[in-house]
A = this chain, B = another copy of it.
Amino acid sequence: MLRVFVTGGTFDKTYDEIRGQLSFRETHVPEMLRLGRSRVDLIVETLMMIDSLDMTAGDRARIVTRCVECVEREIVITHGTDTMVETARALAEGVTDKTVVLTGAMIPYAFGSSDGLFNLGSALSFAQVLPPGIYIAMNGQCFPWDHVRKNRETGVFESE
Using a CB–CB cutoff of 8 Å, the interface residues on chain A facing chain B are 10, 15, 17-18, 20-22, 32-33, 35-40, 51, 82, 106-108, 110-115, 117-126, 128-130, 137-142, 152-156
With contacts A107-B17, A110-B111, A153-B18 known, is A35 near B128, CB below 8 A? no
Q: Check if B40 sits within 8 Å of A141, measured CB to CB.
A: yes
Which of B37, B40, B155, B156 meets A115, CB within 8 Å?
A: B37
Q: How far does the alpha carbon of A115 sit from the alpha carbon of B117 in the complex, in Å?
A: 9
Which residues of chain B are within 8 angstroms of A156 by Cβ–Cβ distance?
Answer: 37, 39
14 residue pairs from A and B, CB less than 8 Å apart: A15-B111, A37-B118, A37-B139, A38-B140, A39-B138, A39-B141, A110-B111, A112-B112, A121-B140, A124-B140, A125-B137, A125-B140, A128-B142, A129-B130
Q: How far does the alpha carbon of A126 sit from the alpha carbon of B130 in the complex, in Å?
A: 10
With contacts A20-B82, A82-B20, A122-B121 known, is A15 near B141, CB below 8 A? no
Q: Check if B122 sits within 8 Å of A20, measured CB to CB.
A: no
Q: Check if A110 sits within 8 Å of B108, measured CB to CB.
A: no
Which residues of chain B are within 8 angstroms of A111 by Cβ–Cβ distance?
Answer: 15, 108, 110-112
Q: How far does the alpha carbon of A110 sit from the alpha carbon of B114 in the complex, in Å?
A: 11
Q: Check if A126 sits within 8 Å of B129, measured CB to CB.
A: yes
Q: Which residue on chain B has the smallest CB distance to residue A110?
A: B111
Q: Which residue on chain B has the smallest CB distance to residue A152?
A: B18
